Amino acid sequence: MDLGLKDKVVVVTGAARGVGLAAAKTFLAEGARVFSVDRSFDDGYPLADAGRSSHRYANVDVSTEVGATSAVRLARGAFGAVDIIVLNAARHSTQSVAGLTSDELDLTYRTNLLAAAFALREFATALPAGGAVVVVGSTATKSVQENEFAYRSSKAGLRALAESAAVEFAPADVRVNMVTPGAIRTGFAKYGPGMLERLTDQIPLGRTASPEEIAICIAFVASPACSYMTGAELLVDGGLSMRSLRLGD
């Protein structure tokens, strides 16, 4: 697929695994140059040996102002310009409202919302006319489940951030959109046995998504093919949000 991304410089946060890693691979396959950012890259990172002319990566915590500034400096130092930003860094929280701690709320908000806000602030002046930002959301904001207040509220704030940035960046011809995945085929072990099966039963398409299926949607929204799209949210959830989600027995 040719999305017109050849030689574009793309920064992907939360790029060490899952959707972020898949997005980095997808952009590279489209001929883009990619700067991957994460707090920690595991040994054996699949893109560690990608050619330095097309891919660089750095351990940076963009949930801090210092980290966000550092990410901009490193990305521009590596490739000289930035055309596209994918804000994917995320952390899931499962504390109840009654059991919520200030440390948990602070960490979840910093990772999910403040990281994106700081990155947008720092990259705002680095993006040229025709630039694009893709914010990765969550369908957790479309239904109510117990023990998800911190996560849901941080992701709802992320949507508000994307919409505000879309309005503010539009005069500079910079687009800001959100891609909102549903259930992805990774990370369900922590929810206990049976959770994946119960969820899959409620998805109209009858299965969860692969990270690659989300990644190609991110690349599409970032591409010139969506040049008149800003402030929008693309749901990629197999139809799950059309239903009232119930995960109990």
The residues that are catalytic are 138, 151, 155
For tokens 């970032």, the residue is 222
Interior CA angle at 222 toward 42 and 152, to 5°?
Answer: 65
Alpha carbon 27 to chain centroid distance?
A: 14
Sorted by sequence, the CB contacts under 8 Å of residue 61 that are 6+ apart come out as 39, 67, 115
Length of the chain: 249
User: Helices 102-109 & 149-169, crossing angle to 10 degrees?
Assistant: 30
The set of residues, in sequence order, having a beta carbon less than 8 Å from that of 149 and lying 6+ positions away, is 95, 96, 97, 100
Q: Note the Cα 215 to chain centre separation in Å.
A: 9
H or E stretch at 159: helix 149-169
Count CA atoms within 13 Å of residue 48 on its CB side: 10
Residue type, 158: L
**Structure-derived torsion over alpha carbons of residues 8, 68, 117, 31, reported in degrees to the nearest 10:** 10
Type of residue numbered 118: F
Residue 8 in 3-state DSSP? coil
